[in-house]
Amino acid sequence: MAITDKIYIKNHRQIASQLETSFPKSAFSGATLDILFQGQGLANLDEATQDRVLDFAEDFLDCDCQSNPHCGCPERKFIGYLLELREDGLGPDAIVDILGEEYMLYAYSGDILSFLDSSIRTLEAAERLADVENHDDKAKQLRDVRENLAR
């Protein structure tokens, strides 16, 4: 399962009752993207929640793809965002805190940790491949990214 399948809406029950409809707890589930982030019910949410929902939509659902928001861009952008937080030196617990503050989302820090570990392993594999094929610049570039993440 991708990490984006393990990102949840904080205060889910409260938000569902404000919207007077139900939607899945998972932030990137198709129905949540439609109902919460692209839906007409925004005005029914309290102001703090509205702000977070709008921020999320602006930051991750802003592509022009025809199938937006079901095009895969939101998930890709979100993964990039998680990796940036890690590069900024944040650990899994701090990342979980930021998700709550900025977007009213939550995740388990163990899930974030294994996501970061597997990202590092993916980079290592790519690095080895670049080494084998003598793409020295590419290998160095991958190694720099990985070392930033692994710090």
Q: How far apart are CA 13 and CA 82, in angstroms?
A: 25
Mind spelling out the 3-state secondary structure of 109-151?
HHHHHHHHHHHHHHHHHHHHHHHHCCCHHHHHHHHHHHHHHHC
Which stretch in 42-50, 68-76, 79-87, 120-128 sits in contact with Zn ion by CB under 5 A? 68-76
Instruction: Check binding of 113 to Zn ion (CB under 5 A).
Output: no
Which sign, positive or negative, has the C-alpha torsion 93, 97, 99, 104? positive
Tell me the β-bridge partners of 9. Answer: 105
Instruction: Check binding of 65 to Zn ion (CB under 5 A).
Output: yes
Instruction: Check binding of 73 to Zn ion (CB under 5 A).
Output: yes
Instruction: Check binding of 71 to Zn ion (CB under 5 A).
Output: yes
Which stretch in 42-50, 71-79, 84-92, 100-108 sits in contact with Zn ion by CB under 5 A? 71-79
Which stretch in 23-31, 37-45, 65-73, 122-130 sits in contact with Zn ion by CB under 5 A? 65-73
Nearest distance from residue 143's CB to Zn ion, in Å?
Answer: 30
